[in-house]
Amino acid sequence: MNVLLIGANGQIGQYLVDLLHNSDEHTVKAMVRKEEQAEVLKDKGVESIVADLEGNVDEISAAVDGCDAVIFTAGSGGSTGSDKTLLVDLDGAAKAVEAAEKQGVKRFVMVSALQAHNRENWNDKLRPYYVAKHYADNVIEASNLTYTIIRPGGLLNEPGTGNVSVAENLTRGSIPREDVARTVMAALTEEKTFRRSFDVTAGDHEITEALRNL
């Protein structure tokens, strides 16, 4: 598949660029916000496109054009305020869904957050972020896309282990970003994940096997 990776410059995104670029099965088009980011990718031999999630849907549609799948791992991050959370994490995600629908691209993988579907389990400090993720996930689930919503626990920068736990509800846990990226990769073609949403944390099951047993 030719995959549009939205949020390619993020921490999980950078792992995914490498995984997709080195894969025999897939090719990647990396969507980034800035020209400099595109240049860095170009130097690595990775196709990239500059587009802004705060722009209009047509801009994102143009990025989706020619792709077979979309991965959304963009986020406004912790250093900006909730304005950007609303504009990027919520409305930006909804625009990506609309762009995929417009271009007839069915496959859509979203990186969400652990328990984003359960308000009772939202971390008080991150509550506004969870609101945005929750309603973005709602938009995806209400769409006709062949979606997978992956909700990772607390993100760690340590190296991945290749082993995870996946389930509709894992009330707490953390996971290396590298393993989130690998889970996204494995989910891309695993039909057991189609039109499914699930939590993922570090665990004891090899990733492809864990997804096959979802």
The catalytic residues are: 129
Closest CA to 2 of 80, 107, 74, 150: 107
Contact status: 91 vs a second copy (CB under 8 A): yes
DSSP 115-167: TTT-GGG--GGGHHHHHHHHHHHHHHHHSSSEEEEEEE-EEE-SPP-SEEEEE
- The encoded tokens of residue 10 equal 């993020």
Asked if residue 188 lies in contact with residue 180, where contact means CB atoms within 8 angstroms, the answer is no
Contact status: 192 vs a second copy (CB under 8 A): no
**Which one among 48, 61, 85, 103 touches a second copy, defined by CB under 8 A?**
85
Q: Please identify, using beta-carbon distances, which residue of 43 and 83 lies nearer to a second copy.
A: 83
Rounded to a whole number of angstroms, the minimum distance from the CB of residue 10 to a second copy is 21
Within residues 105-134, the interface with a second copy by CB under 8 A covers: 119-120, 127-128, 131-132, 134
- The encoded tokens of residue 109 equal 């993988």
Rounded to a whole number of angstroms, the minimum distance from the CB of residue 83 to a second copy is 5
**Which one among 1, 40, 50, 87 touches a second copy, defined by CB under 8 A?**
87
Rounded to a whole number of angstroms, the minimum distance from the CB of residue 89 to a second copy is 10
Within residues 142-171, the interface with a second copy by CB under 8 A covers: 142
User: CA-CA distance, 180 to 182, in Å (whole number)?
Assistant: 5
**Which one among 135, 143, 173, 195 touches a second copy, defined by CB under 8 A?**
135
Contact status: 139 vs a second copy (CB under 8 A): yes
**Number of residues in the chain:** 214
Closest CA to 21 of 43, 51, 60, 47: 47
Q: Please identify, using beta-carbon distances, which residue of 24 and 83 lies nearer to a second copy.
A: 83
- The encoded tokens of residue 182 equal 């690998």
Q: Please identify, using beta-carbon distances, which residue of 53 and 109 lies nearer to a second copy.
A: 53
Within residues 37-66, the interface with a second copy by CB under 8 A covers: 56-57
Sequence-separated (6 or more) residues with CB below 8 Å from residue 120? none
Residues of the shown chain interacting with a second copy in the complex, contacts defined by CB under 8 A: 56-57, 81-83, 85-87, 90-91, 94, 119-120, 127-128, 131-132, 134-135, 138-139, 142
